[in-house]
Amino acid sequence: MTERLYYDDAYLWQFDATVTSVRNGTRPGEWEITLDRSAFYPTSGGQPFDTGTLTFGKVKAKVTDVEVAADGDVIHTVDKEIPVGTAVRGEIDGARRTDHMEQHGGEHMLAGAIWEKLGGTTIGLHLGQTESTIDVSMPEGRTHLTEEEILLLENTVNERIRLDAPIRCWFPEEEELKKLPLRKAPTVTEHVRIVAMGDFEMVACGGTHPSSTGRIGLIKIISAIPAKGKVRVSFVCGGRAVGLFQTYMRYADKAGAALSCPVEKLSSAASDLKYRLSEAEKKANRLESRELLDRMAQAESGEDVPGITLCVLTMPETDSRAVSAAVSEYIAAKGRALLLCAGERLTFARSADVKIDMNDLIKRVGRGGGRPDMASGAGIPECVSVARKILMTEGISK
């Protein structure tokens, strides 16, 4: 079984080891090897694997995946074959490991705060490439957190991060384990590893963590949404949180400059802009609708189909809201029928007293459907000419 060096030192970036087995990987150009000792963390408990290199002589093999075999050996996927018995120098990607430790350490503190402040139980962790998530089972089946609760959790965790409390990881004896105030029961019964953060968090965990809470740096909750009957809390810690803050501030400053207001007034300025834009769109739609009505009146013909005023009109694509408003107003008067093609959109409509089945008519000349009094679909300008000929030939349906 591989000796896991990260249990004793999560900041061990380099180590020496010997290859104990090698076999072909699942893909061409890959090999799976085991070592007598390793500082590479294998994917486990929601924390992704470490990457890095194994060097032997002048050859450097990339470690692209790490996992645990059923017998406890740590399997390293590499891009070069390394013979059994070879002495290698392992080197961990420290930036990737540090990032994972920041996220994992922050998750412990967040889960502890959720339990302490809200009575929620955390189920599972997923460390993503940009943000991490935990699923929380809340009392009474709640699936939401309020803004006040989110702020409470953030403030609680960040205050504890600033304490720079020590983080201790160890394998207690059975008698000691029974007396420890764990947040939740361990999921394993043997070789239980405990992680304690100050005097406010203690739980079983086999992952890598910073040496103190201060090295987590910062936590920011991004969202808390319902997910399969639980609350899915998304968050970032450490360098990710700093990067997120920098991104937000950069774009907030640009938005503030564009709206000529300070960042703290962006919300009200955006709301005001949205209202004014909505009013301007309404006014533009009313004007466009009025222009369409004028065009419909100019295109009217009372000779095509006896007893009705028929409007046959083709025009470029137009705002659908303006078209809908104009069509509704046009057929509000008695004795009217409309065959309209705006771009590639067909609209066939008629007044309530006109006995033309527009649903049937539009299906005969194009693609679409609707009600007997109004139907819409897709087609070409020639469709309205064909529909007009059908009405001239067959007249109004009885």
- Rounded to whole angstroms, the Cα distance separating 77 from 63 reads 6
Summarised one tens digit per residue, pLDDT across range 359-394 is 999 999 989 999 999 999 998 999 999 999 988 887
Summarised one tens digit per residue, pLDDT across range 26-35 is 899 999 999 9
- Rounded to whole angstroms, the Cα distance separating 378 from 71 reads 64
Residue 20, pLDDT above cutoff 90: yes
CB 320 within 8 A of CB 314: no
Summarised one tens digit per residue, pLDDT across range 257-316 is 998 999 888 999 989 989 999 888 888 888 888 888 888 888 887 656 677 899 999 989
This prediction has a pTM of 0.74
| Token representation of residue 195 | 């992680």
Look at residues 296, 290, 287 and name the one whose alpha carbon lies nearest to residue 340.
Answer: 296
Mean pLDDT of 317-334: 90
- Residue 83: its pLDDT value, please? 96
Look at residues 201, 237, 198 and name the one whose alpha carbon lies nearest to residue 106.
Answer: 237
Buried (b) or exposed (e) across 66-99, using 16+ Cβ within 10 A?
Answer: bebeeeebbbbbbeebbeeebebebbbbeeebbb
Question: What Å distances lie between residue 260 and 251, 255, 268, 359, 375, CA to CA?
Answer: 14, 8, 12, 52, 47
For the chain, domains (ranges, CATH) are 3-92 (2.40.30.130), 98-249 (3.30.980.10), 283-394 (3.10.310.40)
Question: What Å distances lie between residue 245 and 19, 248, 308, 353, CA to CA?
Answer: 44, 5, 65, 63
Summarised one tens digit per residue, pLDDT across range 107-158 is 999 999 999 999 999 988 899 999 999 999 999 999 999 999 999 999 999 9
Look at residues 243, 203, 205, 202 and name the one whose alpha carbon lies nearest to residue 222.
Answer: 243
Percentage, residues of the chain above pLDDT 70: 98
Q: What is the mean pLDDT of the chain?
A: 92
